[in-house]
Amino acid sequence: MYDVAIIGAGIIGVSVARALSRYELSIAVFEKENDVSMGATKANSAIVHGGFAESHAKVKGGLCFKGRKQFDQLDKELNFGYEKIGSLVLAFEEEQLETLKNLYENGLANGVDDLEIIDHDQIMAMEPNVNPDVKYALHCKGAGVCSPFEMAIALAENAVANGVELFLNTEIKAIKQSNVGFELVDTNDQIHKAKYVINAGGLQSAVISAMVGADYFQITPRTGEYMVMVRGSGSIINKVLFQMPTKLGKGILVTPTYHGNLLIGPDAVNQDTDDKSTHAERLLKIFNEAKHTTSKLNIKQFIRSFTGVRSISSTDDFIIEATGVKGFINCAGIQSPGLTSSPAIADMVLDILKNEGCFMVENPSFNPYRAPVITRTELKPMKEIQPLIDMESNPQKIICRCEQITEGTIIDAMNRGIPVTTIDGVKRRTRSGAGWCQGTFCRPRVAAVMEKELGYEIDPSFDIEHSGVNRVGKNEIVDYILKHEHE
């Protein structure tokens, strides 16, 4: 019997698992997909938010800044990629100044201590490429960017290294209560016993909660589409640039990513399914709205579109609480700023577990450190790396020429305690296939390395053909936007 079972291996589930691995507890994490970070964690804005946008009256308002303050230390320990670059909420109309002041006051109520409202000249000094019609902005010095799926992978790897058991491809279909805890039944009819259960099931969290009779909220999928530009394109701006927030979210943002791409989006559409396909019409609207922030966008630098799906609870807030069922704890409705809040959510869950009677003794052998898989480096000229591309199998052999990822890096990423069985799993860990050609060159080469490590054949097209996701391709969206952007 496990002391704690966690359902879901997104950023919340693995944050809780890693926090619990500090203690002498037996912990299991159950994930229905073939890898960690397969839901909203791998498809979001990658922003470490300031903490001023969420109402002070809500749970998420109290957690965002608390989570943000932990990112420096977490990155020092886990090396997932995080940088403080600051953010600006831009106001283009005089009457929007009042909204900025309200955001500022709300931020103060949430404990945020690095906010200021700045004027046109100050903005232009920080961001020479921003729309010169801007009048005011709310500047948050400590906001930043990170690599969210690398963060989740790092947390999971460290948790596993500290004794947590991770079950991939394992969906929980029923939960039965017993006199000593719970019996979790998976789709293979295997039974896993646990004293306490943490529900971090994302879009399925309401369904999971209902399995124990805690049927008191609903989850609605809200999709948001994004556009990613080529590495290096992020240099046109320096900070995370927000437009004024709306009822559905923080509006269209323009931001550099941690690895130097430019990211724009998302829109926000409530729907009945979690379809992650992208659509030319929605992307056109996003691109045109983003041009209001800066005119320096170049659609010919586009390399990829993707859709994130947020879990919107019927309470319009995070649901982090002990339920009426003793030992069953919900972590549901974790939409933005869930990534930023995740360290604080984990702290909150540990406090709830203690209140529920879970006895925690610190593990003296806990190791908080995890070495990086990749680090940010400047790309070398193609003529310089060509011999490394052409060489025979060798740790120094370059497998992905766009991102200059070596065979040794891929092998390292595959041997860190979590089974990596797909090319996209390698991509999330190493950036192989994340460059200009989007894997056209390296997918079969990555598959060849994986086959040697795993001992069986890898289909290079598996992730694309079996995902069920239809993404608008590079040429299609470039042609579509060039044709329609001025309509």
Q: What is the 3-state secondary structure (H, E, C) of 165-178?
A: EEECCCCEEEEEEE
Amino acid at the residue 338: G
Distance CA 45, CA 339 (A): 9
Pairing of strands 136-140, 115-119: antiparallel
Separation CA 83–CA 395 (nearest Å): 29
Which residues make Cβ contacts (< 8 Å) with residue 297, sequence separation at least 6?
Answer: 229, 236, 254, 262, 264, 287, 290, 291
| Cα 3 to Cα 133: distance, rounded to the nearest angstrom | 57
Query: Which distant-in-sequence residues (6+ apart) come within 8 Å of 453 by Cβ?
Result: 411, 414, 415
Handedness of CA 155, 157, 159, 161 (dihedral sign): negative
| C-alpha to C-alpha distance for 290 and 149, rounded to whole angstroms | 25
- What order of strands is seen across the sheet that includes strand 82-84? 47-48, 144-146, 82-84
49 included as an active-site residue: yes
Alpha helices by DSSP H, listed for 40-176, are 59-68, 71-78, 97-109, 120-126, 148-161
What single DSSP character describes residue 258? T
**Which residue do the tokens 């006051």 mark?**
105
Residues labelled catalytic:
49
